[in-house]
Amino acid sequence: MVTHEFHPHRGGIAVYAAEMATAAAQLGYAVEVWAPALPTGQQESLWPFVVRRLPIDSSHSLRNQWQMARELQRQRAQLHEAILYVPEPGPLLSILLLQFFHKLPPGRLVITLHGSEILKLAFRPLMRWSTRRLLAHADCVSVVSQHALQLLNRYFPNTTKKTVIASGALRADFHSSPAAATLRTIEPAKGKTIILTVARLHPRKGQLRVIQALEALPPELKSRLEYWMVGGHSKEGYETSLRDSAARAGFSVKFLGDVSDAQLSAIYAQADIFAMTSMPHRFSVEGFGLVYLEAGAHGLPVVAHAIGGVPEAVIHHETGLLVSPDDPAALTAAFAQLLRDPALRRRLGAAGNLRARSRTWRDNAITLFGLPPTNSSA
């Protein structure tokens, strides 16, 4: 596996990469992950596979692309009998470079596409031609949702017969998170209903839409709620816009920043409703959203926009409420419905919990790689 996003980097793709590597190792594959250098002073976590740290960071800069391409070429002989797995766009760009020099690594090539990169690659003519060539060479192309599959088939129809869906599951360490009672570091005001968003502070994640929708609630409902945001890495001055809106919202808004997984588990346990109202933003789209599964596993009903692959992560009227991103009034109405109906919150949360726990990374790894020969009878 070659990836620019890996632990300790936060985010859905980093989780996806680590969990797929773990699942493949548990199936019996000898897994080696090539990942960015660790931050200064941080030690490597314990993994059931080998991790090689390269002199790159988590960005998709030309320098990182070149460094990854050089390493792939340097280790070309080692990869002759290997499955080369590319779980995200960073190393994919490196391999696009290599194919111009007829230096593609030998062996079997498996690529995962999440959604946004399909659009970015498709709408640049040279990139589109180059990607079509590379995908023709791939042995398997996976996507995380039916929505991503439709995008792929529309722009790269030569992949139709080799594409599978592997949308992800809960983190493997989810069950080992400490009980909320031991980490109640953030106390809501007495009697408040907590609405929670867990996402980086980015226009695509839609936190501003949540504040605006809650601000439009009747006064008696606004007086009963708090809105908590977990996440950092603000882009495009978005945090400033959020804080300005929060200051005049008429209800309590708390910016909790980045938190550890243990703290996050406690915060989920204190929340009553999960909201992530993803928005269309340039070429960026929500391919699936592992965080919706995580919220469901904590028994939270979800409010979200019906966009991209979100309707595959959140089932309308079963695990949450979905509304159009073009209908702010419907978003306010969805929040009002859940604030007024605790029984509905419990029903949706219970269904979300069952659905989240029914999915496994093992199944996804088998879909992508199959069982290794020694485990063919498993």
C-alpha closest to that of 160 among 195, 135, 180: 135
Cα 14 from Cα 82, distance rounded (Å): 22
User: What's the pLDDT score for residue 80?
Assistant: 85
- Asked if residue 338 lies in contact with residue 344, where contact means CB atoms within 8 angstroms, the answer is yes
Q: Looking at the DSSP assignment, which residues form a beta bridge with residue 143?
A: 113, 165
Look at residue 373 and tell me whether its pLDDT is greater than 90: no
User: What's the pLDDT score for residue 326?
Assistant: 95
Look at residue 41 and tell me whether its pLDDT is greater than 70: yes
Q: Which residue would you say has higher pLDDT here, 31 or 234?
A: 31
User: What's the pLDDT score for residue 66?
Assistant: 92
Residue type present at position 361: W
Look at residue 374 and tell me whether its pLDDT is greater than 80: no
Cα 171 from Cα 290, distance rounded (Å): 9
User: What's the pLDDT score for residue 185?
Assistant: 52
User: What's the pLDDT score for residue 179?
Assistant: 47
Region of poorest pLDDT, from 166-170, 207-211, 326-330, 341-345: 166-170
Mean predicted confidence (pLDDT) in 64-73: 92
- Asked if residue 376 lies in contact with residue 181, where contact means CB atoms within 8 angstroms, the answer is no
SS3 of the chain: CECCCCCCCCCHHHHHHHHHHHHHHHHCCCCEEEEECCCCCCCCCCCCCEEEEECCCCCCCHHHHHHHHHHHHHCCCHHHHCEEEECCHHHHHHHHHHHCCCCCCCCEEEEEECCHHHHHHHCCHHHHHHHHHHHHHCCEEEECCHHHHHHHHHHCHHHHHHEEECCCCCCCCHHHCCCHHHCCCCCCCCCCEEEEEECCCCHHHCHHHHHHHHHCCCHHHHCCEEEEEECCCCCCCHHHHHHHHHHCCCCEEEEEECCCHHHHHHHHHHCCEEEECCCCECCECCCCCHHHHHHHHCCCCEEEECCCCHHHHCCECCCEEEECCCCHHHHHHHHHHHHHCHHHHHHHHHHHHHHHHCCCHHHHHHHHHCCCHHHCCC
Region of poorest pLDDT, from 50-54, 66-70, 206-210, 329-333: 66-70
| pTM of the predicted protein model | 0.90
Q: Give me the domains of the chain, ranges plus CATH numbers.
A: 12-169+360-375 (3.40.50.2000), 174-357 (3.40.50.2000)
Q: Which residue would you say has higher pLDDT here, 3 or 98?
A: 3
Hey, which of 113-122, 181-190, 322-331 has the most confident mean pLDDT?
322-331
Look at residue 7 and tell me whether its pLDDT is greater than 80: yes
Region of poorest pLDDT, from 98-102, 184-188, 248-252, 319-323: 184-188
User: What's the pLDDT score for residue 107?
Assistant: 81
Cα 344 from Cα 320, distance rounded (Å): 9
